[in-house]
Amino acid sequence: MKLQRTLCIIKPDASEKRAQGEIFQSILDHGFRVVALRQLRLTRAQAEGFYDVHRGRPFFDELCTFMSRGPVIVMALECENAVGRFRELIGATNPEQAGEGTLRKQFGTNVGENAVHGSDSEVTAQAECAYFFAGLELL
Closer to ligand CMP by Cβ: residue 20 or 93: 93
Our answer to whether residue 117 is catalytic in this structure is yes
Contact residue for ligand CMP among 10, 107, 114, 128 (CB under 6 A): 114
Closer to ligand CMP by Cβ: residue 4 or 91: 91
- Determine, following the binding rule CB under 6 A, whether residue 37 of this chain makes contact with ligand CMP: no
Catalytic residue among 50, 76, 117, 129: 117
Total number of residues that touch ligand CMP (CB under 6 A) = 8
Closer to ligand CMP by Cβ: residue 79 or 98: 98
- Determine, following the binding rule CB under 6 A, whether residue 131 of this chain makes contact with ligand CMP: no
**HEC readout, the chain:** CCEEEEEEEECHHHHHCCCHHHHHHHHHHCCCEEEEEEEECCCHHHHHHHCHHHCCCCCHHHHHHHHCCCCEEEEEEEEECHHHHHHHHHCCCCHHHCCCCCHHHHHCCCCCCCCEEECCCHHHHHHHHHHHCCHHHCC
Burial class (CB in 10 A: 0-12, 13-18, 19+), 68: middle
Contact residue for ligand CMP among 68, 93, 109, 126 (CB under 6 A): 93
Are residues 77 and 10 in contact, defined by beta-carbon separation less than 8 angstroms?
no
- Determine, following the binding rule CB under 6 A, whether residue 76 of this chain makes contact with ligand CMP: no
Closer to ligand CMP by Cβ: residue 79 or 103: 103
By CB under 6 A, name the binding residues for ligand CMP. Answer: 54, 59, 63, 93, 111-112, 114, 117
Active site residues: 117
